[in-house]
Amino acid sequence: MLSPNATDPYIVRLTQAWPELLASRPDDPLTPVMQQLLAAWQRSGDADLVTAPATPVLSRGDANLLNWMTTDDSAACVDFEYAGFSNLAFDAADLIEHISGRAVPDSKWTQLLPDLGVTDANRHLFAANQRTCALRWLAVLWKQRDRRREEFTIQHERVGMLYSSANPYA
Domain coordinates of the chain in residue numbers?
A: 8-55+86-162
pLDDT at 6: 72
**Reported pTM:** 0.91
116, HSE (Cβ side, Cα atoms, 13 Å):
25
Contacts 24+ apart (CB under 8 A), 146-151: 151/99, 151/102
Strands 68-70 and 57-59: unpaired
pLDDT at 73: 84
- Give the Cα separation of 108 and 115 in Å (integer): 12
pLDDT at 136: 97
Q: What is the mean pLDDT of residues 42-52?
A: 94
pLDDT at 103: 92
Contact 24, 64 (CB under 8 A): no
Band the pLDDT of 142: cuts 50, 70, 90. Answer: very high
pLDDT in tens, 11-30: 999 999 999 999 999 999 99
pLDDT at 82: 75
pLDDT in tens, 91-122: 999 999 999 999 999 999 999 999 999 999 99
